[in-house]
């Protein structure tokens, strides 16, 4: 736990703060904080910055409605830059983009593909549950209900076992199928990815505590 007084603010009393989407890891924006804006951010759990152009405190989203809800604030190893792990209510960029970082300075040499995330896939699956789409396999599974989804998970689990005994590439393919159907089950039961992450994290904490106790015994 780092105290505010341990952070290294520059000569103007400011420290860079980079906001990233806590679910996807995407960089959303970068701004500056002073001690007061950081204190407000911690108290409100909403990103508050110092506007260098207006010379005033700036609660992100106060006018646009695109608040950045802070889940965690982390300092870098030199303690002169902050990382804000946030959940955004809307576009982070004042131009209406999800992220402020959209203009290439050195473009990728390979073809750019839309970034895939499990969270993004989960949102798509939830969308198919709330608004059924004709011809959509995902919507079909929700229409058939829990028993059909569980049957598919049983089938995919068996195929993973068989594939794992045969070929790595085949195993990757079958594991992907299983993960997809597991996400469908989670959506059906209103279980979010963060619920699973929270459960796994709690097990890690318990495991770490047990190891520490063994070392001291």
pLDDT tens for 175-191 read 999 999 999 999 999 99
Distance CA 121, CA 174 (A): 17
Residue 72 predicted with pLDDT over 80: yes
Residues near 62 by Cβ (< 8 Å), separated by ≥ 6? none
CB 73 within 8 A of CB 82: yes
pLDDT recorded at residue 113: 54
pLDDT recorded at residue 207: 67
Q: What is the pLDDT of residues 11-40, one digit of tens each?
A: 999 999 999 998 878 899 999 999 999 999
CB 80 within 8 A of CB 93: no
Confidence of residue 213 (pLDDT cuts 50, 70, 90): low
Distance CA 170, CA 180 (A): 16
Distance CA 36, CA 50 (A): 9
pLDDT recorded at residue 48: 98
Confidence of residue 169 (pLDDT cuts 50, 70, 90): very high
What mean pLDDT value characterizes the chain? 90
Mean per-residue pLDDT for 1-14?
A: 94
Residue 215 predicted with pLDDT over 80: no
Pull the structure tokens for residue 183: 């996400």
pLDDT recorded at residue 23: 81
**Mind listing the domains of the chain with CATH numbers?**
4-88 (3.10.20.810), 118-212 (1.10.287.1080)
- Alpha-carbon distance values, 210 to 2, 20, 198, 200, 213 (Å): 26, 33, 19, 15, 5
Confidence of residue 9 (pLDDT cuts 50, 70, 90): very high
Q: What is the pLDDT of residues 81-125, one digit of tens each?
A: 999 999 999 889 988 888 999 888 987 766 555 567 788 889 889
**Residue found by looking up tokens 């068989």 in the block:** 162
């Amino acid at each position: 736990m780092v105290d505010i007084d341990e952070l290294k603010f520059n000569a103007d009393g400011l420290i860079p703060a980079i906001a990233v989407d806590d679910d996807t890891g995407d960089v959303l924006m970068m701004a500056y904080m002073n001690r007061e804006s950081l204190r407000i951010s911690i108290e409100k759990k909403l990103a508050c910055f110092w506007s260098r152009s207006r010379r005033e405190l700036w609660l992100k989203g106060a006018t646009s409605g695109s608040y950045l809800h802070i889940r965690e604030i982390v300092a870098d190893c030199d303690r002169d830059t902050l990382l804000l792990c946030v959940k955004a209510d809307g576009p982070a960029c004042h131009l209406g983009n999800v992220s402020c970082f959209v203009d290439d300075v050195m473009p990728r040499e390979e073809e750019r593909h839309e970034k895939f995330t499990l969270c993004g896939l989960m949102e798509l699956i939830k969308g198919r549950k709330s608004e059924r789409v004709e011809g959509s396999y995902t919507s079909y599974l929700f229409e058939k209900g829990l028993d059909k989804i569980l049957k598919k998970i049983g089938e995919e689990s068996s195929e993973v076992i068989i594939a794992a005994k045969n070929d790595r590439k085949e195993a990757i393919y079958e594991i992907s199928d299983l993960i997809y159907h597991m996400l469908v089950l989670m959506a059906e039961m209103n279980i979010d990815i963060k619920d699973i992450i929270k459960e796994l994290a709690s097990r890690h904490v318990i495991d770490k505590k047990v190891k520490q106790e063994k070392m001291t015994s």
